[in-house]
Every structure is written in structure tokens, then in C-alpha cells.
């Protein structure tokens, strides 16, 4: 029998904590959920900040004791938005406590941690797992997935993906995203993981080989933020800044092969001057092609190669027409009253609730097993870049 209520515990109160909190607040307003979604408990490290965040975002309870909260029989779903190195411990503990688990991407900071999470999920047979590859929930990306499932692309030849940002310049301090022991990787896990998941999702194919890869750390040292704002006074009142090593990639590029025969190129960087959040994907087949750029997230470019040659050409589809079947659009606004970044999270929160009630989501949700395949590709990229050689995915277990 489907549950009537889903009590959620959210771990984390920063960027993703805000995005997920907003999603839980809004999902039941725009979607006819089959369960009552309850924002039960917020978990974070600092008591005063945690209480303030909980009150602002509508969480009924708050705590800094994650072990106690994960053992609470009232909690149904544990949602993890911490830095990557904490995913394994929290997810495994939640699964062992019989909870459903949602986890931010990438699945973990390392393939070993991801493998342990997958094994825990497989052992917890009554628990469902979800990974927040939220770009699947953009109407344009979901529609591209549907077009590919309908055979509209035909045999796929090429995948070209680039996720480009420019926020991580020399003045950006040494936050956790630049620390390899916490993040696992830099642009690779932060950005390229999204591209890998999106390519797998749309094509329905798996990457079978990383043909070659390169990574680069351009900014090898960054300012360490102190409790006084990062500036340290030396002799005579001179201002000095403490430096720390950046131990992750600033940029990653790799070539790959897909199980259906397609070839692919992937690029990710947080130092692409002038690009703010340019998450781009092109997929070309013998019957059609798609292009997507998240900076124009309400549009999907489409080429129909089955039309007569004299009328073939790229067209731009505004994917906000719910009455014509554009995914998720029917829950939102009239045609061309566009969506934004937050809507992908809200769409996913709704789909999670449908899945927990035993119903199908609009498009497939990534679980730990699905996200583990993306984690294997990340590991293959690291190995290829380190050793300067092709890496078959069969070698990455």
C-alpha cells in the first residue's frame, strides 16, 4: 500500500540546501502529489545557523545530530546535500536505518565510496534511492530524451558536450570545491558529471571507452579564508594572505565511445571566461539532431533530417507547451511563460514523491545504480588523464 505521508530530513543548508528546500516547499503547490510531503527535519552543523535556516525555509524541526535523526522512525526520506566526501557515511547509515535516500551529485567523492553506497542500496531492498541530476528535469532535456526514445534521432553518430563556467578565477578562495580530499575532483565531478549523465540519459547508451583525457590545474594556490575574512596582519601591520594548494582539476577534456557506436567529446571548466553556466549538449543521428544550452533552458533546437531537403533546417522549439505534451510544462505556466533553474529541482522533488508512491515519474529518475555508471566514467577519465592511454569501462568495476 502506498504511503500517505513522506517525512523528509534534509542534510545541509548551503547552496543545494536552499535549492532542495525550495523544491520541497513548491512541489505540492504545482503538482498533484500522491502523498503529503512533510518538511520534517533540517540537519546542519552550526546550531544557530541551522535554526535560522529551518525557520526561514519551513522545516518543522532542526538538529545537528545526524545519527539521532537518521534513526528516527518518523523519517521516511533522507536527502543529502553535503560536500561529496560525506555522502558515503550518511547514505549508508540512512539505508541501514531503512530510509529512502536522495543524494546530490556526483554520487560520491571516489569510486570506492560510490561502490559502498551502491552495495548498501542493493542490500536495503525496501529503500529507494535517487541522485539529483536535476538537468534531466529541464523540459527541453526531458523532451530530447523522449524524442530519442521515439526513434526521432535514428542511429546516433556524435555527442558533443561542454559545461563551461568562469567563477573560479585567481581571486576565488580555497573553498571545499578546490580540495581533492573533500570534492574528489574539480570541474570533472562538479560539471562534467552532469554532462555525462545527460548524454547517457538522452541517448539511452552507455560509455564503453574513454579514448583519451587531459586535465589541468591552472591555479595551483588559492587564498585561505580565516575567521577574520582571509587577511592576516604581519609585521608593521602589512596585510598577508595565507595560501593553500588547490588539488583538483580546473579543466577536463576527454573523448569517448558509446555502446551504440557513437563517438563523443566532453569538456568542463570553471575558467571559461565569459561563460556563466553554459551547459551545452549536441547529439546528431541519421534521422535528426538536437542542441541544448542551459543558458536558454526553455528552448530545444531540433533538426529533422527526414523532411524533404528543400525544407530541412534547424528549428527552435519553445518547450513550455503543456497542452502539446512538453514534459512538466503542464504543471506550470501558460506557453512561453518561461521556467528557471529552480524548476528542475521542483520537478524532481515531485517525481521522487510519485516514485515513492509506486507511480512512474515523468522521465526516469537516476538511482544509485544509474549514478554509479556515471561515477565509473569519472574514474576512467582520471585514469586516462593520469596514464595517457585509452581506458575501457570494462576495466572500471
Query: Are 41 and 159 within one domain?
Result: no
**CATH of residue 381:** 3.30.360.10
User: What's the domain count of the chain?
Assistant: 2
Is 315 a member of any domain? no
Is 393 a member of any domain? no
Is 323 a member of any domain? no
Q: How does strand 156-164 pair with strand 263-269? A: parallel
Is 11 a member of any domain? yes
Query: Are 373 and 236 within one domain?
Result: yes
Cα separation values, 378 from 77, 113, 136, 233, 393, Å? 27, 13, 19, 42, 10
**CATH of residue 117:** 3.40.50.720
CB of 193 within 8 A of CB of 109?
no
Q: Is 352 exposed, middle or buried (0-12, 13-18, 19+ CB in 10 A)?
A: buried
Query: Are 182 and 88 within one domain?
Result: no
Residue 241: predicted pLDDT? 74
* Helices 193-203 and 368-387: angle between axes, nearest 10 degrees: 120
**Which one, of 33, 89, 38, lies nearest residue 66 by Cα?**
89
Beta strands in 67-194 (DSSP E): 77-80, 100-103, 129-131, 156-164
Full domain range(s) for residue 106: 5-131
Which residue's C-alpha cell is 561529496? 84
Query: Are 112 and 48 within one domain?
Result: yes
Query: Are 13 and 117 within one domain?
Result: yes
CA angle 189, 246, 13 (to 5 degrees): 60
Query: Are 161 and 88 within one domain?
Result: no
Is 292 a member of any domain? no
Is 332 a member of any domain? no
Query: Are 251 and 192 within one domain?
Result: yes
Is 218 a member of any domain? yes
Chosen domain end from 131, 166, 185: 131
Is 350 a member of any domain? no
Residue 227: predicted pLDDT? 52
325: left (phi over 0), alpha (psi -120 to 50) or beta: left
Residue 235: predicted pLDDT? 52
Query: Are 275 and 237 within one domain?
Result: yes
Query: Are 374 and 226 within one domain?
Result: yes
Chosen domain end from 90, 116, 131: 131
Query: Are 100 and 174 within one domain?
Result: no
Digit-by-digit pLDDT tens for the chain (397 residues) are 677 999 999 999 999 999 999 999 999 999 999 999 999 999 999 999 999 999 999 999 999 999 999 999 999 999 999 999 999 999 999 999 999 999 999 999 999 999 999 999 999 989 999 999 999 999 999 999 999 999 999 999 999 999 999 999 999 999 999 999 999 999 999 999 999 999 999 999 999 999 999 999 999 999 998 654 444 444 554 556 799 999 999 999 999 999 999 999 999 999 999 999 999 999 999 999 999 999 999 999 999 999 999 999 999 999 999 999 999 999 999 999 999 999 999 999 999 999 999 999 999 999 999 999 999 999 999 999 999 999 999 999 9
- Does pTM top 0.85 for this prediction? yes
Query: Are 378 and 251 within one domain?
Result: yes
CB of 393 within 8 A of CB of 210?
yes
Query: Are 96 and 232 within one domain?
Result: no
Residue 147: predicted pLDDT? 98
Residue 3: predicted pLDDT? 76
Amino acid at each position: 500500500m502506498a504511503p500517505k505521508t513522506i517525512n523528509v530530513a534534509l542534510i545541509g543548508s548551503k547552496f543545494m540546501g536552499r535549492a532542495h528546500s525550495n523544491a520541497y516547499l513548491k512541489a505540492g503547490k504545482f503538482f498533484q502529489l500522491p502523498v503529503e510531503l512533510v518538511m520534517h527535519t533540517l540537519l546542519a552543523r552550526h546550531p544557530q545557523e541551522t535554526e535560522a535556516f529551518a525557520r526561514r525555509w519551513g522545516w518543522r524541526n532542526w538538529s545537528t545530530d545526524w545519527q539521532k535523526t537518521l534513526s528516527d522512525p518518523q523519517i521516511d526520506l533522507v536527502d543529502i546535500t553535503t560536500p561529496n566526501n560525506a555522502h558515503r557515511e550518511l547514505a549508508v547509515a540512512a539505508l541501514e536505518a531503512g530510509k529512502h535516500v536522495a543524494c546530490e551529485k556526483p554520487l560520491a567523492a571516489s569510486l570506492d565510496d560510490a561502490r559502498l553506497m551502491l552495495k548498501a542500496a542493493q542490500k536495503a531492498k525496501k529503500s529507494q534511492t535517487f541522485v539529483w541530476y536535476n538537468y534531466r528535469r529541464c523540459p527541453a532535456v526531458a523532451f530530447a530524451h523522449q524524442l530519442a526514445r521515439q526513434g526521432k534521432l535514428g542511429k546516433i553518430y556524435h555527442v558533443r558536450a561542454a559545461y563551461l563556467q568562469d567563477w573560479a578565477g585567481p581571486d576565488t578562495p580555497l573553498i571545499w570545491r578546490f580540495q581533492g580530499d573533500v570534492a574528489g575532483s574539480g570541474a570533472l565531478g562538479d560539471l562534467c558529471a552532469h554532462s555525462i549523465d545527460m548524454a547517457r540519459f538522452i541517448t539511452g547508451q552507455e560509455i564503453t571507452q574513454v579514448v583519451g583525457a587531459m586535465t589541468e590545474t591552472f591555479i595551483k594556490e588559492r587564498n585561505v579564508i580565516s575567521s577574520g575574512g582571509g587577511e592576516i596582519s604581519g609585521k608593521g601591520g602589512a596585510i598577508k594572505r595565507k595560501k593553500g594548494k588547490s588539488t583538483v582539476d580546473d579543466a577536463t577534456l576527454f573523448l569517448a565511445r558509446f555502446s551504440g557506436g557513437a563517438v563523443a567529446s566532453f569538456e568542463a571548466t570553471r575558467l571559461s571566461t565569459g561563460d556563466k553556466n553554459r551547459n551545452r549538449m549536441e547529439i546528431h543521428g541519421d534521422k535528426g539532431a538536437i542542441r541544448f544550452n542551459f543558458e536558454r533552458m526553455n528552448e530545444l533546437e531540433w533538426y529533422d533530417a527526414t523532411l524533404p531537403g528543400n525544407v530541412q533546417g534547424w528549428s527552435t522549439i519553445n518547450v513550455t507547451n503543456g497542452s502539446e505534451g512538453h514534459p512538466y510544462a503542464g504543471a506550470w505556466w501558460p506557453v512561453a511563460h518561461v521556467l528557471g533553474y529552480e524548476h528542475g529541482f521542483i520537478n524532481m522533488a515531485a517525481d521522487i514523491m510519485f516514485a515513492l508512491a509506486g507511480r512512474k515519474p515523468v522521465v526516469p529518475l537516476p538511482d544509485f545504480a544509474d549514478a554509479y555508471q556515471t561515477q565509473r566514467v569519472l574514474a576512467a577519465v582520471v585514469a586516462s588523464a593520469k596514464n595517457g592511454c585509452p581506458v575501457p569501462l570494462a576495466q572500471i568495476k
